Amino acid sequence: MKISIRQLVISLVAFLLAVSVLIGFVRNPEIVGGQVLVVRALILNFSIFAALVAVFPLNPLFYGRPGTYGLVVCLPALLPVFVYFLVLLPQQSSGGVSGEQLSSELITDASSNGIVEVGFTYPIYTPNVSLRNEGLYTQYVNVFLRMTGANGGDALFRGVRGRIPGTGLSVEASVQGMLSRNSNYLFNPIALPPARGIEGNVVFIISNLDDGTSFTDALSSATQAQFEVRDPEAGTLITVFPLDRI
């Protein structure tokens, strides 16, 4: 069995396409998770089909019989992907978003070490949290911190946003600009790909307290302290999880 130059070129192009599509599929869960299930199946099947086309000239059993190769080899290889995405995956998905706090960190002028420039009058609370999306599609969420004092009063803090409207220099814009250089920080809205977890530090500016000590005292005396995960557009509550005291 002789392999022509044309067949080699087709195999090489098909192989490169298969690898490129597969890498893009795996490395972009946020974008892929925003597609309907049938589109995801088609994308993955395209990679599989391209790989099968790449190895076709190397299979002597189907030499000169591409139709038979497609029916006997390609079709059975593509069907399981459709079954998984259209049947099994919807059955396995429990839906919803869950969250958990992993650690607490507080940045003040005295403890900034150059992370936050001296001059901020507000403590910056950066708890490390884990968020997981059990749904079928990518979900975007905002994270809030709510504290209920002994007198029944509520204090609600929104996590720093990734995109801040307006051109003026605000405390939120300054904090976001400096901390965004570190990929460990998460900014609202947070993208949660389906069936995946994400871990990072949400940033809260404690704007109605004087310093880090008073914030710690406020947490200690609060009757309830929790994180709220909300829909960015409607503001509806998705889930809550408790805050561990500093």
* pLDDT greater than 80 at residue 111: no
pLDDT confidence of residue 212: 46
pLDDT confidence of residue 108: 56
Mean pLDDT of 209-215: 54
Phi, psi of 125 (to 5 degrees): -95, 120
pLDDT confidence of residue 85: 94
- pLDDT confidence bin for 113, thresholds 50/70/90: very low
- pLDDT confidence bin for 31, thresholds 50/70/90: very high
Cα distance between residue 226 and residue 147, in whole Å: 7
0.85 exceeded by pTM: no
* pLDDT greater than 70 at residue 119: no
For the ranges 34-38, 170-174, 214-218, 240-244, the lowest mean pLDDT is seen at 214-218
Mean pLDDT of the chain: 83
